[in-house]
Amino acid sequence: MTSPHAALRRWLHLIVAGTLMMAAGTATAQTSTPISAAPENSSARAYGGGWNCDAGFREIGKKCEAIRLPENAYLSGGAYGSGWDCHYGYRLENNACALIPVPANAFLDSSGTRWQCDRGYSTAGNLCAPIKVPENGYLTSSNSGIGWACDRGFRATGSKCLPINLPANAYLTNSGSGTGWTCERGYRVRGEVCDEVTLPEFAHLNSSGDGWQCNRPYRQAGARCVAP
């Protein structure tokens, strides 16, 4: 009759043997699994396994094909797209880099793909036409609009700068719209003139200076200030 200790040892031996056989089978299966070979002109990835095509090559199928670089282009290093971009002063046209025609009195902007007119010129189709600045006007730095503005004291009317008619008790403003003037404190705009603000008894000018309000403790009653 087998002792309990002998039976336990035999059972443990069977477990160990089975574990070793399973490990050996797994290793054999892993060894027999084919690993796809990295193609020419590629490098192994630093993480995650696999490979990437070298600079100047693009993955096509399972190969790394050389990127065909057109004239006036450079490798962009991007993982997607064509893998190249056009040089400054050229733009993509029909899978090639075409020279950007820059008209007289113009220059390429910072992107290198567009042009804009020099100061004193405005875009007119594919050309840069000189800006006609009227008398009492000056060139602006804006690339949009008419390209000029009127001097202080003048207002743009059509293609001219006409003097602003300043009424009595008024002063010029810096606003580019409206009449170009406003009334002094103590006066209010009425049409094209400045009317004096009439203060009733027990009143003072308001903060804007074009009206009035009652002193404390008086209250407004029509055009007067009355005691509470």
pLDDT of residue 122: 92
Is 80 part of any domain?
A: yes
User: 15 to each of 7, 10, 136, how far by Cα in Å?
Assistant: 13, 9, 104
Is 93 part of any domain?
A: yes
In the chain, the number of structural domains is 1
Give me the amino acid identity at 110.
Answer: S
**Residue of 38, 51, 50, 76 whose CA lies nearest to 67:** 76
Is 114 part of any domain?
A: no
Q: Give the three-class secondary structure for 131.
A: coil
Is 88 part of any domain?
A: yes
Reported pTM: 0.57
Q: Give the three-class secondary structure for 138.
A: strand
Residue 67 belongs to what domain range? 52-99
Q: What is the DSSP string of 10-40?
A: HHHHHHHHHHHHHHHHHHHHHHHSPPPPPPT
pLDDT of residue 47: 86
6: left (phi over 0), alpha (psi -120 to 50) or beta: alpha
Q: Can you read off the two tokens belonging to residue 218?
A: 């008086």
HSE toward the beta carbon, residue 9, CA cutoff 13 A = 5
HSE toward the beta carbon, residue 25, CA cutoff 13 A = 6
Is 75 part of any domain?
A: yes
Tell me the pLDDT of the chain (228 aa) as tens digits.
555 555 556 656 666 555 555 555 544 444 443 446 889 999 998 888 889 899 899 888 889 999 999 999 999 887 677 889 999 999 999 999 999 999 999 999 999 999 999 999 999 999 999 999 999 999 998 767 889 999 999 999 999 999 999 999 999 998 877 889 999 999 999 999 999 999 999 999 999 999 999 999 999 999 999 998
Is 9 part of any domain?
A: no
Work out the number of other CB atoms within 10 angstroms of the CB of residue 186: 14
Is 157 part of any domain?
A: no
Is 186 part of any domain?
A: no
Work out the number of other CB atoms within 10 angstroms of the CB of residue 193: 13
Work out the number of other CB atoms within 10 angstroms of the CB of residue 50: 10
Burial (CB count within 10 angstroms: exposed 0-12, middle 13-18, buried 19+), residue 115? middle
